[in-house]
Chain A
Amino acid sequence: SYELTQPPSVSVSPGQTARITCSGDALPKQYAYWYQQKPGQAPILVMYKDSERPSGIPERFSGSSSGTTVTLTISGVQPEDEADYYCQSTDSSGTYWMFGGGTKLTVL
């Protein structure tokens, strides 16, 4: 079955750049989306269509795509960015949605 693969954890110091990757065979053909989830809260969309930022999301969040890997980059990480981040996409047919396993971002 199709999967999206993320690193379980990423750690950075405040002010540094965090990069969270997501790999999947269908990503060259299907857009990726990114969600931030803090403990006890519902997820929030932070990136859509690989690199588009929803209104209200800080400019330090950006996205990129290269082949079978998409990347969420957080420049100048703030303590409030500490959260779980999930990528999401569909299979090549566009009829099966899925999430990556999630990456816990720790701000040291």
Chain B
Amino acid sequence: QVQLVESGGGVVQPGRSLRLSCAASRFTFRSYGMHWVRQAPGKGLEWVAIIWYDGSNKYYADSVKGRFTISRDNSKNTLYLQMNSLRAEDTAVYYCARDNRGEGMDVWGQGTTVTVSS
């Protein structure tokens, strides 16, 4: 069935960088916008960023703007999140999710955990 699998999480020191990946399978990846959504321990969902199906538009939450970059490689069916200048408050489970053309985030990955700590 349709699947998203995140990877790249881990423990990183404050100020360092990390790149997350999200591998898509069993759907036409290049036809869909994609989101990153995160969830800090014990907290609610926080939208992080979206990229249009063709990469032409990208939008970010204020909390990550200027530090995080969303990108995609449609030839590899993969979504990325480059996270720079990481802070303790970026500690969270990071999910990628498919944007079903205005019909919501209908497919989610299982999440990858990022811990920012010295």
Question: Number of residues in A with C-beta < 8 Å to the partner?
Answer: 25
Answer yes or no: A60 CB below 8 A from chain B CBs.
Answer: no
Q: Which of B59, B95, B109 contacts A96 (CB 8 A)?
A: B59
Say which one of A16-24, A41-49, A67-75 lies at the interface with B. A41-49
CA distance A92 to B84 in the complex (A): 29
Q: Which of A1, A45, A100 contacts B105 (CB 8 A)?
A: A45
Answer yes or no: B104 CB below 8 A from chain A CBs.
Answer: yes
Give the distance to chain A from B2, nearest Cβ to Cβ, in Å. Answer: 12
Q: Helix, strand, loop or mixed for chain A's interface?
A: strand
Given A42-B111, A44-B108, A102 and B102 touching (CB < 8 A)?
A: no
Q: Helix, strand, loop or mixed for chain B's interface?
A: strand
Answer yes or no: A52 CB below 8 A from chain B CBs.
Answer: yes
Question: Number of residues in B with C-beta < 8 Å to the partner?
Answer: 22
Additional 18 contacts, C-beta under 8 A, given A37-B45, A84-B44: A1-B62, A35-B45, A42-B111, A43-B45, A43-B95, A43-B97, A44-B108, A45-B104, A47-B104, A49-B104, A52-B103, A54-B103, A54-B106, A88-B105, A99-B46, A99-B47, A100-B44, A102-B44
Using a CB–CB cutoff of 8 Å, the interface residues on chain A facing chain B are 1, 31, 33, 35, 37, 42-45, 47-49, 52, 54, 84, 86, 88, 95-102
